[in-house]
């Protein structure tokens, strides 16, 4: 490991101060004089450095120094892994440590370097932040063939200072090719692009999707030495998908270099053929979809008003079949059960696609990488992720498109059991509902099931292999019979037609699903940080009311089991541990005293925002502003982490005081 000059100088200074503090220099001089005099006599001219070290080791001086340095090791490592001086531009709350990568000499790699950006004109007027001031940051995320990377955050600027490199492994997965290094022809046949997603994070931690770009990297196969530089123009998203937002300077390099490069004409010809093939597949599917839609309308004229959604626009304004947004996705060891997957999707933030001006809802179904990197999205994004995870767990899952109360368009997820049982999953809340259809032909005295779900109508449902439109006389969810194999009730699309354009690898333009990433958050550290901030905010709030604040640490600790039980109940639907919590509170609150508690749940980690929300509740406001004899306050925060650094934050405010009549 090499240190920059200023760090090396600083390290030398610390070592020098440590040796002075231990008075090591005088000890060395004493040993030197004694050794020369007693052991070497007149042969001092032959005295070597090795002889001195042996003498120091015999007297235990070197061992003493090493023990002292070992004692300070943690302190030194903390000092050199953190910033040695105040941050000038921003504070990175998720420090990233560089890890060594084992390079397989039998594989070929693509080294992608991002060497700065320019023309991010939205930030042209931004002034340089003052020292120590927190500012908005850019983060660049990459996905290529099941490999994900993320740059370190850098301050937003007209010319952002991206200086990051990513090593992408390039090889064929097919039998017989995976064990040998990919040559130029094999590399040319790998049509997967590199997806780049640029996220802006503001000073309050809110994220915004700035750009999503698919980089065609194979131009590097037609240049000498396998090195090329590109100026990648990033387009906006949603309504601004045709407007440039900035340019990234990218350098691509193959490692090891190709022994025989391809001519640029061959590369361009291959890319042109792939585009033509993709366009032809899309044209044929569109022709089929139009014919299918005409047949559907001929069944019943009222079908024209049903929500049968065959295509949806992604963040780049590209129309894609809805089946391409779902894929069987396995979470590895990050999620253990379907219900835990539903909880994970639930704690990802909910935000409708932004609209400039009025005119109703802007439709935008995000690609999976854009949704995960942004950590929030619309209900369609949540549904496609939840459906993909449930498919990965082996369930027969579908995304349903319909309406909820007041005719508002909505999507949710349905699982179809082997026994015909139908379960609805609300992706925004994690709740599950069992569907039991109402038979309108039953006599009036027959008791009908009362639906608990909020859904009113359903137009269609789909997953990665099937698309079915509701052709029953009524599209009411209450009356709907979910026998998906009955074509008189559900009109299916050809599975072969869907497979031709939505199966993995069917078209190069179809983005692959990224693997989920484990959380970067330290649950205990985050919980402590938010709790300390809330204590300060409560103390300041009560000071403004003219009240003193005394905290009861033991009472705060006793609130932990309740918060854990709330999260378990949200995940599994089963309540547990309430008896122990109530017993502990009864023991902690003396006779004649009153206890009040207020739990609340958030999916963000902004303490000030959470406290402002809490104060809107009269119950919480009553606790925080409580007056009484021997009044003690308590607050407990518990952060439960999930993949993609999503989190569920539970907060509980409590107080106890002696009742005075």
Spatial separation of the C-alpha atoms in residues 286 and 601, rounded to whole Å: 45
CB atoms within 10 A of CB 321: 22
CB 214 within 8 A of CB 193: yes
> Residue 599: in which H helix or E strand, if any?
strand 593-602
Q: What is the largest CA-CA distance in the chain?
A: 122
According to the model, what pLDDT value does residue 93 have?
47
State how far the Cα of 411 lies from the Cα of 428, in Å rounded to an integer: 10
Residue 101's pLDDT is 64
d(C-alpha 237, C-alpha 245), whole Å: 9
Give the separation between CA 653 and CA 531, rounded to whole angstroms: 10
Question: Is 496 in contact with 503 (CB distance < 8 Å)?
Answer: no
DSSP state at residue 353 = P
Task: Please report the pLDDT score of residue 573 as a whole number.
Answer: 85
Alpha helices in 300-441 (DSSP H): 338-347, 368-374, 379-392
Angle at 380 between CA 198 and CA 283, to 5 degrees: 85
d(CA 39, CA 91): 58
If DSSP codes are grouped into helix, strand and coil, which group holds residue 300?
coil
CA distance 117 to 162: 7
What pairing do the DSSP bridges indicate for beta strands 467-470 and 457-462? antiparallel
Q: How many Å apart are CA 401 and CA 306, to the nearest integer?
A: 10
Q: What Cα–Cα distance (Å) separates residue 564 from each residue in 19, 256, 348, 637?
A: 50, 51, 19, 10
- pLDDT score for 8: 62
Of 376, 322, 325, 369, which is closest to residue 354 (Cα–Cα)?
A: 376
pLDDT at residue number 407: 85
pLDDT of residue 284: 95
> Nearest CA to 527 among 651, 406, 627?
651
DSSP state of 39: I
Residue 445 confidence (pLDDT): 65
CB 432 within 8 A of CB 452: no
Tokens of 196: 């780049």
What are the residue ranges in the chain where pLDDT is below 50? 1, 40, 43-44, 70-95, 175
Residues in the chain: 661
Q: What is residue 67's predicted lDDT score, i.e. its pLDDT?
A: 59
How does strand 422-425 pair with strand 349-350? unpaired
- Look up residue 94 and give its two tokens: 């998720």
User: Which backbone phi and psi does 132 adopt, to 5 degrees?
Assistant: 85, -5
Q: Residue 76: its pLDDT value, please?
A: 35
């Amino acid at each position: 490991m090499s240190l920059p000059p200023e760090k090396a100088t600083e390290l030398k200074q610390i070592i020098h101060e440590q040796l002075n503090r231990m008075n090591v220099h005088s000890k060395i001089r004493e040993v030197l004089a004694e050794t020369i005099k007693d052991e070497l006599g007149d042969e001092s001219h032959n005295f070597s450095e090795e002889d001195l070290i042996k003498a120091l080791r015999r007297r235990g001086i070197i061992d003493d120094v090493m023990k002292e340095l070992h004692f300070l090791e943690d302190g030194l490592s903390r000092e050199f892994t953190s910033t040695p001086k105040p941050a000038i531009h921003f504070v990175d709350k998720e420090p990233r440590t560089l890890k060594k990568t084992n390079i397989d000499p039998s594989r070929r790699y693509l080294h992608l370097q991002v060497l700065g950006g320019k023309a991010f004109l939205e930030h042209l007027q931004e002034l340089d932040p003052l020292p120590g001031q927190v500012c908005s940051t850019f983060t660049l995320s990459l996905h290529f063939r099941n490999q994900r990377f993320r740059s370190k955050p850098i301050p937003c600027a007209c010319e952002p200072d991206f200086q990051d490199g990513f090593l992408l492994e390039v090889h064929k997965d097919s039998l017989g090719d995976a064990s040998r290094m990919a040559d130029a022809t094999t590399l040319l046949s790998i049509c997967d692009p590199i997806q780049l997603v640029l996220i802006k994070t503001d000073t309050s931690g809110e994220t915004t999707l700035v750009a999503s770009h698919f980089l065609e990297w194979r131009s590097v196969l037609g240049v000498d030495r396998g090195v090329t530089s590109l100026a990648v123009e990033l387009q906006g998203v949603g309504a601004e998908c045709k407007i440039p937002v900035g340019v990234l300077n990218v350098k691509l390099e193959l490692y090891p270099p190709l022994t025989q490069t391809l001519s640029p004409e061959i590369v361009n010809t291959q890319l042109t053929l792939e585009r033509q093939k993709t366009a032809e597949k899309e044209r044929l599917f569109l022709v089929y979809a139009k014919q299918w839609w005409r047949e559907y309308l001929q069944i019943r004229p009222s079908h024209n008003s049903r929500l049968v959604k065959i295509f949806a626009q992604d963040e780049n304004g590209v129309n894609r079949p809805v089946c391409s947004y779902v894929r069987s996705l396995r979470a590895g060891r990050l999620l253990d059960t379907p219900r835990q997957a539903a909880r994970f999707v639930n704690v990802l933030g909910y935000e409708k696609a932004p609209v400039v001006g009025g005119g109703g809802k802007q439709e935008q179904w995000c690609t999976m990488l854009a949704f995960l990197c942004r950590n929030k999205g619309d209900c369609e994004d949540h549904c496609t992720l939840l459906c993909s995870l449930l498919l990965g767990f082996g369930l027969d899952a579908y995304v349903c498109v319909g309406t909820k109360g007041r005719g508002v368009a909505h999507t949710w997820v349905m699982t179809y059991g082997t026994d015909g049982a139908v379960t609805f999953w609300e992706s925004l809340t994690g709740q599950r509902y069992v569907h039991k259809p109402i038979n309108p032909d039953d006599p009036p005295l027959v008791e009908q099931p009362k639906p608990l779900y909020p859904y009113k109508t359903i137009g269609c449902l789909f997953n990665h292999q099937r698309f079915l439109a509701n052709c029953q006389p009524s599209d009411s969810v209450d009356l709907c019979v979910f026998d998906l194999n009955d074509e008189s009730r559900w009109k299916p699309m050809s599975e072969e037609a869907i497979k031709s354009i939505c199966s993995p690898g069917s078209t190069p333009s179809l983005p692959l699903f990224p693997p989920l990433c484990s959380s970067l958050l330290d649950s205990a550290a985050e919980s402590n940080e938010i709790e300390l901030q809330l204590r300060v905010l409560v103390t300041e709030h009560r000071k403004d009311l003219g009240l003193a604040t005394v905290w009861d640490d033991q009472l705060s600790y006793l609130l932990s089991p309740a918060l854990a039980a709330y999260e378990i109940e949200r995940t599994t639907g089963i309540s547990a541990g309430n008896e122990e919590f109530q017993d502990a509170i009864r023991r902690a609150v003396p006779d004649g005293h009153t206890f009040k508690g207020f739990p609340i749940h958030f999916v963000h980690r902004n303490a000030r925002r959470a406290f402002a929300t809490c104060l809107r509740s009269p119950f919480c406001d009553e606790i925080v502003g409580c007056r009484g004899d021997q009044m003690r306050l308590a607050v407990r925060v518990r952060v439960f982490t999930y993949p993609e650094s999503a989190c569920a934050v539970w907060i509980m405010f409590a107080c106890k005081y002696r009742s005075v009549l």
